[in-house]
Structure 1
């Protein structure tokens, strides 16, 4: 399996090239095009798990991680084939190659992965609430490529130490990195006046993906310019 990322960074399209009888799982609605020999099956995530366990994990991801319950599995039947994917928002895409480590992803950024990568939710504690973002992230564990999307361009950072990142700009990070929620400035008043408020202090060693735009801030800016809805 090989992902090819096209048209970066504004209107990105991911082309997934599959070997004969190879499969890839993707979020519902992400497919743009596919070759005629691709077989599509809709199922709950992580098909290798038992029925009830898969059901409850799927419901948890849907309710807490912001994902759809079902994914589509695309299989190239008997010969090579390809499937293309695109996110719902304008922006970049990136592939992280899991090699047994755990990758922590914001729920809306996950797009696709092979069956060799298990996707689940991860409770981040109340620090997620105070950060202004989701209490839950997704975790990808196993071996294989994980396709992710972002709003705007994606910056890849190999962290060894500490970095401050604004909340809402984190796409994903490996488990060797821990985060805490801190004030942007030393005092609450200066943090508020700076327009930043709370930020994330990322500490440790690993890889981190950051998006150049915050979809919540963008939506608030555009929404303020729209005329009010009529009932």
Structure 2
């Protein structure tokens, strides 16, 4: 594989593997500048902050992945790209998905055997694997996945949750079996994973970035009645009920990603 031949250039910092694909987060070992004037400055301060230039590397073994549009850096091997629109109905569906989830409507698929490298980025990445399950993530977090995972839309159950929960009417839903890669506002080590077993979690602010499919989401007052909520100083809380996991970020929102 290409990654193994370039260990002096970058290192593998995380890896997940299935029968048909190996997903790796690789980080460049050293950055010595660029011909673009602003890039060396960005690299200098990124290094001072402990940020590394990373990219997703995927080894396909007669497998297939789905990515965000424009994510490809380069690929090698017997790999074909499929970005078919699926006719007029498919175009409208993809356009609607793009508007509602802050992600590209047309998501290319790469199928075959070989190596794929996605665009280098200073972003943080989260990798996870689901099995006959689903997860709901913040808009704009999806980066790539095995094509055995379907990328769809999850709508809020009511307007109140959408208006007061800080998430909007729609989020990204990923369903099926396979590996998923997400762009994260924080490193993986900073994400708090809360396990719920027929339990309730209440969060002040939009710290939650992911929940599994068995978790129900609503927005509720922190205390009964308007006066109780006012005196508590908390107002409305994001409320998660059920059995599964909720992932929390220590930051309140996803700011601009450094890519």
TM-score greater than 0.5 by the shorter chain: yes
Cα root mean square deviation, aligned = 2.9
Residue 113 of structure 2 is aligned to residue 73 of structure 1: no
Deviation (angstroms), 1:178: 0.9
- Per-residue CA deviations over 1:166-204 (Å, capped at 9, x if unaligned) read 33222221111112212345633235xx4x543211111
Measure, in 2, the Cα distance between the counterparts of 1:16 and 1:53: 33
Cα separation, 2, equivalents of 1:53 and 1:207: 35
Distance 1:41 1:132, change over 3 A: same
Q: CA deviation at 1:52?
A: 4.0
Alpha-carbon deviation of 1:61? 0.6
Q: Call closer, same or farther: CA 1:4–1:118 in 2, change over 3 Å.
A: same
Contact 1:67-1:108 within 8 A present in 2 as well: yes
User: What CA distance in whole angstroms lies between the structure 2 residues aligned with 1:115 and 1:19?
Assistant: 11
Alpha-carbon distance, 1:83 to partner: 1.7
Alignment check: 8 A CA contact 1:60 1:121 kept:
no
Q: Is the 8 A contact 1:40 1:72 kept in 2?
A: no
Deviations 1:94-134 (A, max 9, x none): 22312111211222111111221111112113112221222
Structure 1 residue 148 displacement after superposition:
1.2
1:158 CA displacement: 2.3
- TM-score, normalization by structure 2: 0.67
Q: Distance in 2 between matches of 1:30 and 1:117?
A: 18
What is residue 151 of structure 2 aligned with on the other side?
119
Structure 1, residues 127-156: CA drift from partner, whole Å, max 9, x if none? 122212221012111111111122123223
Between the aligned partners of 2:205 and 2:80, the Cα distance in structure 1 is 36
2:188 paired with 1:157: no
Query: 2:184 and 2:204 mapped to 1: Cα distance?
Result: 15
Distance 2:204 2:152 in 1: 25
TM-score with structure 1 length normalisation?
0.74
Matched residues in 2 for 1:98 and 1:158: separation?
Answer: 16
- Inter-partner Cα distance in structure 1 for 2:219 and 2:60: 44
Matched, 1:181 2:219: yes
Contiguous gaps of at least 5 residues in structure 1: 220-231
Contact 2:76 2:114 in 1 (8 A): no
2:24 is aligned to: 4
- Counterpart CA distance in 2 for 1:212 and 1:184 is 20
* Structure 1 pair 35–29 and aligned structure 2 pair: CA distance change class (3 A): closer
**Which consecutive unaligned segments of at least 5 residues does structure 2 have?**
1-20, 28-49
Q: Output the CA distance in 1 between the equivalents of 2:83 and 2:168.
A: 25
Secondary structure of the equivalent of 2:143?
A: strand
State how far apart, in whole Å, the 1-side matches of 2:115 and 2:26 are.
17
Matched residues in 2 for 1:168 and 1:115: separation? 29
Kept after mapping to 1: 8 A contact 2:54/2:123? no
User: Which residue is 1:62 aligned to?
Assistant: 98
Structure with greater contact order relative to length (CA < 8 Å, sep ≥ 6): 1
